[in-house]
Chain A
Amino acid sequence: MSLDRRMLNYLGLESVEDLFADVPEHLRLEQFDLPLGMSEQEVCRHVDAILSLNRSAVDMPCFLGGDCRQHYVPAAVEEIVSRTEFRTAYTPYQPEMSQGMLQALFEYQSLMAELVGLDVVNSSMYDWTTALGEAARMCMRINRRKRFLVPRAMSPQKRSVLNNYVLGTGMTVGEYGYDQITGEVDMDDLVGRMGDDVAGVYVEVPNAFGIIDSRAPELKAMAGEALLVVGVDPLSMAVLRPPGDYGADMVIGEAQWLGSPMNCGGPMLGLFACRERDARRSPGRIIGMTKDSNGRDAYTMALQTREQHIRRDKATSNICSNEALVAVGAAAYLSIMGAEGLTSLARSNMRRTRRLMEMVDAVPGFEAPEFTGQHFDSFVVRCPMRVEKVNRLLLRNGIIGGMHLGPTCPEFDSCMILSVNEVQTDADHENLIELLEGMA
């Protein structure tokens, strides 16, 4: 490399090594065992060759869903999040020269607030799992209670991350069951597990079986002084009643699929919403609207005294870097889709889900849906052979099959969840059915 001699001269140094004189001799690295650098072209060729070992959801339809999903991303969204002004900016610590990012994040908060029906949305958590962990901790901060109830049918990653988030708090996590017929919350079981030590009750709408729970509006009254935390797919909010309307104190969820690709599971976008009265106890960055010295509307980071850089070990959370650019993507996505675009997409996917469900059920040996409740865009299929085997056969024929439900609920080891999206064509659905018929 060529260092600027003038700089060394100014410092009165012979060599840049002199600037490392304070690193004790015995701590100096003797060898640095990495290959030498490559040209840009070599890097691109090398990485391209490795990536070609992947088979992706552009090569074939993908029926996997769960906590990461494929939805079509309009080109305009990609263009907006690729703007170097957004991509290469830091956290907006100097608001006067960062109004663009601040307003974009404020709009993300505002669009999400509208979707979920609560006033306060932070400018992102890492993903759905950590949003859940933060929600449990926040419940305890608010009401000082120490038990948190979650559905037994919940993705294993959520359960594991939640356990880690409550490990140091003295909180315990309890589970409640599902109704064997409808797939909805088993209200009797849940009521039986309530008590005055319950800090919060977590419910998912749609839930891990893809069911839109008809009992959701009854939960707030049942919870009493425990807080109600509702986990959502934000796309479903286009057609479903917002949880803020039926008493949710917090709404969390995963918003990666509003404008971002799956990226092998990261970055994701953790949605976190709460009521205004609880904002001071909430985790994460919040952008607020204020004025500048000329009286114009302006934006800045608000309630920073909750955060780690000021409150240190008394902060509400340790989060610093978040998923800001993914949130800008979600704001762009929601704005471009608009109310009609989002609603019609959700409706169309629901209608097609219903149709695919009937088609699968008609295949001898396969049964769908497992439950009588209403579905959003995913449903449980019982398979006549091991799920891994079904998926291997599908993959061999150019289809990424459904998510194995076994890891979520061992009693459904012979079931998979199929998720429908607008990227799949009707021909893809017919192809899937044909392949399943071949297995029966």
Chain B
Amino acid sequence: MTWRQARWDHQSVFELSGGSDHALGAGSVDDLVPNGMTRDRLDLPSAPEFEVVRHFVNLSQMNYCLDNGLYPLGSCTMKFNPKYADRLAAHPKAAQVHPLQDEASMQGSLRIMHELERMLCVIGGVDAMTLQPPSGAQGEFTGMLIAKAYHTLRDDPRDEVIVPDTAHGTNPASAMMAGFKVVEIPSLPDGCVDLDALDAALSDRTAAMMITNPNTLGIFEPRIDLMAEMVQDAGGLMYYDGANLNAIMGYASPGDMGFDIVHFNLHKTFATPHGGGGPGAGPVGVKAPLEPFLPVPRVMLDEGRYRLDYQRPQSIGKVASFYGNFEVLLRAYTYILRQGSNGLRDASSQAVLNSNYLKKRLMEGYELPFKELRKHEFVLSAASFKDRGVRALDVSKRILDFGMHAPTMYFPLIVDEAMMVEPTESASKEELDRYADVLLSILDENASVLATAPSNTAASRIDEVLAAKRPVYSWRMRPDP
């Protein structure tokens, strides 16, 4: 059976016509607008609602999603997004609350935030939490601001942050945003951090080390507590990038490993939808000595009443408009309640089993650099196919033709022609087998077939060169037809 994605004649929304269904009778307001500030034309589309709905529904059908099937992007944790969370997130008593309402009128929202903080503290092995960062990267930025505030208060200005060469790109970027210089250290042949290189990089300039564990190769860093000790002995803080937490829930906690600052990606580990790129949520937890630096406001519980506390003189201030992406927080809260301690541990067990099963199946045809036992994800190399003109890109594009999503390509950077696979717990053995069968059968195909793939998707191979050469970022920039 051949899979084919819908391919509608995708005209632009600007080409729809027929008049809006939502016009009110409202007269001119020229008398209420200062001279020279009145708008003279507005070129928005104007179409009946049924036209607009059809337009977007047809677009949606040209978009692969998690509810279609496996979406095994490494480090992205595309696990099933439970539908009860959709229902609860749409609850008017959740959705229709203004953040600046009187605390007495939002006790429900405050309680959910407070309880979610406590749950995440248990999972992360930390003492205090902020839910404010709206993404994982913003959580990293928050963590770096906390590190900066901590060192500044001790009158010990430090300007370097250490990251391993396997780190997610957000780590060095977030450290840079907070004004730190990034020191990258190499990995050993086993895929783990080189402790000698770490030792050499440490100094009285070291503000922090950022690392994820398991790392982006899916390998658990066995000497993590030793690394934490080394960094802390040098006066630095240990920062945990929570992107890979789905591997170890209930088995180990970042706090026990020695981390001082921990961020979570609720849109990964806690099953909230990715929405085509967002919204996410990136809560940050800290050990007790760093609590004074957390963003304001903190959600407090005093004698049965929840309140927002802004009186935190050492706080770093704010990293987003309000208290975080509440809609996402609520979904994660419901997921943790539903799973409980048993269900979260089971999720990690299944995710790691699925990953190791799929890894072994794929080793029938693909090379697996570094050691074998992996956690929730693994990284294959397509380098050995280069001599017959096949690249990881071509393999990935061909996978799409079977109605399956490709792995993350070309990351981490230390693996040549990397294909990074994370099946998560949301896949059956049959589905994993189908995926493995497809990836293995592709290796027998002619290089020319792969080079022209995909052909069953809404668009064939995209011209990325043209996109870079001819900038069209909006309808008004489009070239004349």
Contact (A96, B88) CB under 8 Å given A89-B63, A322-B135, A332-B56: no
Q: What does the 1/0 interface line of B41-82 toward A look like (CB < 8 Å)?
A: 011111101001101111111111111100101001010010
Stretch at the interface among A24-32, A172-180, A194-202, A359-367: A24-32
Q: How far is the CA of A12 from the CA of B111 in the complex (A)?
A: 46
Closest Cβ–Cβ distance, residue A300 to chain B (whole Å): 5
Instruction: Using A10-B360, A302-B473, A325-B275 as known contacts, say yes or no to A56 and B322 having CB atoms under 8 A apart.
Output: no
Given contact pairs A285-B277, A336-B52, A212 touches B468 in the complex (Cβ within 8 A): no
Instruction: Given A37-B338, A96-B458, verify A28-B408 contact (CB < 8 Å).
Output: no
B474 in complex: contacting residue of A57, A82, A119, A308, CB < 8 Å: A119
B232 interfacial by beta-carbon distance below 8 Å: no
Given contacts A7-B353, A89-B64, A90-B78, contact A68 B98 (CB under 8 A): yes
B177:A336 contact, CB within 8 angstroms:
no
Q: Is the CB of A400 within 8 A of B101?
A: yes
Closest 4 pairs (CB-CB, A-B): A168-B179, A265-B322, A325-B275, A338-B20
- Cα distance A414–B16 in the bound complex, in angstroms: 49
> With A7-B353, A292-B461, A342-B44 in contact, do A400 and B279 touch (Cβ < 8 Å)?
no
Other-chain contact of B279, A79, A89, A321, A344 (Cβ < 8 Å): A321
Bound CA–CA A93/B39 (angstroms): 38
Contact B319 A48 (CB under 8 A): no
Residues of B with C-beta under 8 A to A52: 93, 108
Let me know if B98 and A266 touch, CB within 8 A: no
Q: Which residues of A contact B102 (CB under 8 A)?
A: 391-392, 395, 400
Q: A264-B109, A266-B326 are in contact. Are A44 and B405 (CB under 8 A)?
A: no
CB proximity of A70 to chain B, nearest CB, Å: 7
Q: Residue-by-residue, is A369-410 near B (CB-CB < 8 Å gives 1, otherwise 0)?
A: 000011100000000000000011001000010010000000
The reply to whether B476 and A113 contact each other, CB–CB distance below 8 Å, is yes
- Say yes or no: A101 contacts B104, CB within 8 Å: no
Query: Does B320 make an interface contact (CB < 8 A)?
Result: yes
Cβ–Cβ contact B220 & A22, under 8 A: yes
> Within A107-154, which residues are at the interface with B (CB < 8 Å)?
107, 109-111, 113-115, 119-121, 123-124, 126-130
> A110-B475, A265-B321 given as contacts; is B42 within 8 A of A342 (CB)?
yes
Q: How many angstroms between the C-alpha atoms of A111 and B474 in the bound complex?
A: 8
- In the complex the two chains form, is B328's CB within 8 Å of A267's CB? yes
The answer to whether A34 touches B123, judged by C-beta atoms less than 8 angstroms apart, is yes
Smallest beta-carbon distance B58→chain A, Å = 8
Partner of A68, one of B100, B109, B134, B225: B100
Contact A6 B429 (CB under 8 A): yes
Contacts of B274 in A (CB 8 A): 88-91, 321
The interface bits of chain A over 76-95 (1 if a CB of B lies within 8 angstroms of the residue's CB, else 0) are 10111011111111111111
Cβ-based interface call for A341 (8 A): yes
A320 to B471, CA, bound (A): 21
| Beta-carbon contact of B325 and A266 below 8 Å | yes
Mark A319-333 against chain B: 1 for CB-CB distance below 8 A, else 0. Answer: 111111110100110
Q: Is the CB of B460 within 8 A of A64?
A: no
Q: Give me 23 A-to-B residue pairs in the complex whose CB atoms sit less than 8 angstroms apart, sorted by A's number.
A: A3-B350, A23-B248, A27-B257, A34-B123, A47-B91, A50-B112, A67-B321, A80-B60, A83-B60, A119-B477, A126-B134, A126-B320, A237-B39, A288-B471, A296-B460, A320-B135, A320-B170, A321-B135, A325-B277, A337-B44, A338-B23, A339-B42, A345-B26
Query: Within 8 Å CB of A261, what residues of B?
Result: 95-96
Q: Which of A155-163, A221-229, A430-438 lines the interface with chain B?
A: A155-163
Task: Assess whether A424 is interfacial by the CB under 8 Å rule.
Answer: no
Inter-subunit contact A341/B20 (CB<8 Å) = yes
Q: Which of B136-144, B195-203, B381-389, B442-450 contacts A (4 or more CB under 8 A)?
A: B136-144
* Cβ-defined contact, A325 with B87, below 8 A: no
Q: How far is the CA of A303 from the CA of B63 in the complex (A)?
A: 22
Find B373's partner among A22, A105, A319 (CB 8 Å cutoff).
A22
Q: Smallest distance from the beta carbon of A74 to chain B beta carbons, Å?
A: 7
Are the CB atoms of A76 and B33 closer together than 8 Å? no
Question: With A and B bound together, what is the CA distance between A87 and B66 in angstroms?
Answer: 9
B408–A93 contact, CB under 8 A? yes
Are A120 and B473 also in contact (CB < 8 A) when A43-B84, A43-B338, A263-B95 are? yes
Number of A-B contacts (CB under 8 A): 673
Q: Does B176 contact A (CB under 8 A)?
A: yes
Q: Which residue of B lies closest to A325 (CB)?
A: B275
By beta carbon, the residue of chain B nearest A84 is B67
Q: How far is the CB of B479 from chain A (nearest CB, A)?
A: 9
In the bound complex, residues from chain A placing their C-beta under 8 Å from that of B329 are 266
Assess the A321–B84 pair: CB atoms within 8 A.
no
In the complex, what distance in Å separates the CA atom of A170 from the CA atom of B178? 11
How big is chain A's contact interface, by range? 35 or more
Q: Bound state CA distance, A199 and B362, in angstroms?
A: 54
**Closest CB of chain A to B302's CB: distance in Å?**
16
Kindly state the separation between the CA atoms of A374 and B31 in the bound complex, as whole angstroms.
9
Q: Is the CB of B23 within 8 A of A341?
A: yes
CB neighbours (8 Å) of A235 from chain B are: none
The listed residue (B45, B61, B145, B428) touching A85 by CB distance below 8 A is B61
| A338 and B321 contact, Cβ closer than 8 Å, known pairs A64-B98, A74-B22, A212-B33 | no
Interface contact A298-B457, CB-CB below 8 Å: no
Chain B residue, CB-CB nearest to A273: B474
- CB < 8 Å neighbour of B43 from A44, A64, A285, A339: A339
- Residues on A with C-beta less than 8 A from B39 are 237-242
**Given A90-B277, A315-B169, A56–B337 Cβ distance below 8 Å?**
no
What residues on A are CB-neighbors of B71 within 8 Å? 90
Report if B352 contacts A (CB, 8 A).
yes
A165 within 8 A of B: yes
Q: Report if A292-B459 is in contact (Cβ < 8 Å); known contacts: A40-B84, A43-B84, A332-B52.
A: yes
Complex Cα–Cα for A38 and B248 (A):
21
Q: Are B119 and A34 in contact (CB under 8 A)?
A: yes
Contacting B at CB under 8 A, from A335-353, are 335-348, 350-351
B464 within 8 A of A: yes
| Known contacts A239-B39, A321-B136, A321-B267; A265/B326 CB under 8 A | yes
Q: Which residues of A contact B406 (CB under 8 A)?
A: 94
List the B side residues contacting A107 at CB < 8 Å.
12-14, 475
Max count, chain B CB within 10 A of own CB: residue among A78, A88, A254, A337: A88
Q: Which of A124, A266, A290, A340 contacts B464 (CB 8 A)?
A: A290
